[in-house]
Amino acid sequence: MTGNRLFPLPDGATVCPLGQGTWRMGQSAARRQEEIRALRHGIELGMNLVDTAEMYDNEELVGEAVRPYREKVFLVSKVLPSNASYRGTKLACEHSLLRLGTEYIDLYLLHWKGCHPYEETIRAMVELRQEGKIRMWGVSNLDTADMERIVLLPGGNGCATDQVLYNLGDRGVEFDLMPWCAARRMPVMAYSPISEGRLLRHRTLVEIARRHDAPPAQIALAWTMRQPGIIAIPKAGNVTHVEDNFRSLSINLTEEDLYDLDTAFPAPIRKIPLAGW
């Protein structure tokens, strides 16, 4: 089912537009095996992008989950802004590689804007790439003005993505950041695509879900991925949620669905500063 939806990235890799988030995984020993099973099931279904971060304190769990599938997984991790000096970025990456138990990270992101100059972080990213420790680098939680700066810095045009908050209830990025990324053919990674579960009881979403005989999460995810260039990374802590989410790849929203969603969750008509971190 994912075959015709595979998404090309700048270096020729392909990922499923539906990835797997992991924030808050690894917090409970009792849930560990279920979370590993959920991630592995998602990978087996074809959801090959797995997103973690040094901040999530779960890279060991994620590494264990992806190890049997390493070659087909597209592994994403992130450096904390407080570590994102030149030396700090390189060291943080080494630590992530050790915790993940892998020789390379497919995509390494600056988690959000911090106090270290972008020039330093980018220089480290470029070197990590040359050393084969990461395949691509990108950023997260950066608004349009920062993206414009990033791509003009030495090495900055290698930035592969911006991972941002995007879901039906948080559409601000549609006004300028998404068009900016689209013009550069830069994919956007949508985090919290079901708003950490908050969207799921919304009346309109529930009604549209009923039309499709599907759970609301599938509608929220199908909407997030409705246009090319967007990769959604929901976090699902069990196999049932993984399977639910996977089926969103087969949902075709109708004109009526899209109209109703636009009415309930209006698109931005002016600049809204990026929400999130």
Binding residues for ligand NAP, per CB under 6 A?
Answer: 21-23, 51, 111, 140-141, 163, 191-197, 200, 215, 217, 233-238, 241, 244-245, 276-277
Q: How far is the CB of 222 from ligand NAP (least distance, A)?
A: 12
Q: How far is the CB of 64 from ligand NAP (least distance, A)?
A: 17
Q: How far is the CB of 248 from ligand NAP (least distance, A)?
A: 8
3-state helix, strand, coil in the chain (%, to 5): 50, 15, 35
CA 191 to CA 169: how far, in whole Å?
12
Query: CB-wise, 217 or 225, nearer to ligand NAP?
Result: 217
Query: CB-wise, 211 or 269, nearer to ligand NAP?
Result: 211
Distances (CA, A) of 63 to 52, 58, 261: 10, 9, 37
Q: How far is the CB of 163 from ligand NAP (least distance, A)?
A: 5
Query: CB-wise, 238 or 259, nearer to ligand NAP?
Result: 238
User: Do the strands 134-140 and 188-191 form a parallel or antiparallel pair, or are they unpaired?
Assistant: unpaired
Distances (CA, A) of 165 to 2, 99, 111, 265, 273: 24, 26, 12, 15, 11
Residue nearest to ligand NAP (CB): 21
Query: CB-wise, 9 or 236, nearer to ligand NAP?
Result: 236
Query: CB-wise, 209 or 259, nearer to ligand NAP?
Result: 209
Q: Report whether 39 contacts 70 (CB < 8 A).
A: no
